[in-house]
A and B are shown apart, each in its own frame.
Chain A
């Protein structure tokens, strides 16, 4: 299973957009890119996923590079409730969660 690389931590101001990067240079053609987030003392929560094309849902947008070796999770307007650890995972049919990116949102 392929590995992903994410920054350990990021900070954002409330109501500003946040771009969370993920590198996955060894991705294979059948790997889906998944993003989850985990709030303290809770189980992970699905955010978004995609294969090749950019994706949008009510929570976020996922931008996938043309060569699929990197992706970016976009939170359009960060709120205090978005403070969490965000995981980028390649699923086929399971993937490694890694340490994720801890997002801090400042009021």
Chain B
């Protein structure tokens, strides 16, 4: 049982490049979330999904897009990376919105 798996674990991009972060969960969870965490700060919600085919904006959605084509996968896209998006990105999932969230190990993204 892998839980929540994030790929890649590390990535370095140049300003203006695009990339997609993948989150996969094998727990049949309905809800999935993308967060970012900057040094010394708490997590901030970027986007979330309450089921396959649905997405919604969180606290800091600008510059990011998401898709949930399959229930087990939640993709986070950066169309034109900026240095301000350098951060650690965490994905999480839960059965229902009020249920415990299970987190992945994070993706460290640096944008030069």
Q: Which residues on A are within 8 Å of B, measured CB to CB? A: 32, 34, 36, 42-46, 49, 51, 87, 91-94, 96-100
Q: Within the assembled complex, what's the spacing in Å between the Cα atoms of A32 and B44?
A: 18
A46: B residues at CB distance < 8 A = 100-102
B106 (CB) vs chain A CBs: closest residue:
A43
State the main secondary structure of chain B at its contact with A: loop
Knowing A44-B103, A45-B103 are in contact, say whether A92-B98 is a contact too (CB < 8 A): yes
B contact residues vs A (CB 8 Å cutoff): 31, 33, 35, 41-45, 48, 50, 58-59, 90, 92, 96-98, 100-106
Chain A residues near B101 (CB, 8 Å)?
34, 36, 44, 46
* Residue numbers in B under 8 Å from A97 (CB-CB): 35, 42-44
Q: Do A94 and B90 form a contact, CB below 8 Å, given A42-B105, A44-B43, A100-B42?
A: no
- A32 CB to closest chain B CB (Å) equals 4
A94-B45 in contact given A43-B90, A43-B105, A46-B101 (Cβ < 8 Å): yes
Considering the chains assembled together, what is the distance between the CA atoms of A36 and B102 in angstroms?
A: 10
Does A96 lie within 8 Å of B104, measured CB to CB?
no
Instruction: Indicate if the CB atoms of B90 and A49 lie closer than 8 Å.
Output: no
CB contacts (< 8 Å) of B97 on chain A: these are: 91-94
Taking a contact as CB atoms closer than 8 A, the residue among B41, B58, B103, B105 that contacts A94 in the complex is B58
A43 to B23, CA, bound (A): 14
Tell me whether A91 and B44 are in contact (CB under 8 A).
no
In contact, A94 and B100 (Cβ under 8 angstroms): no
Chain B residues closer than 8 Å to A49, beta-carbon distance: 98, 100
B98 adjacent to A87 (CB under 8 Å): no
Nearest CB of chain B from residue A94's CB, rounded to whole Å: 6
- Residue numbers in B under 8 Å from A98 (CB-CB): 42
Q: Residues of A contacting B35 with CB < 8 Å?
A: 97
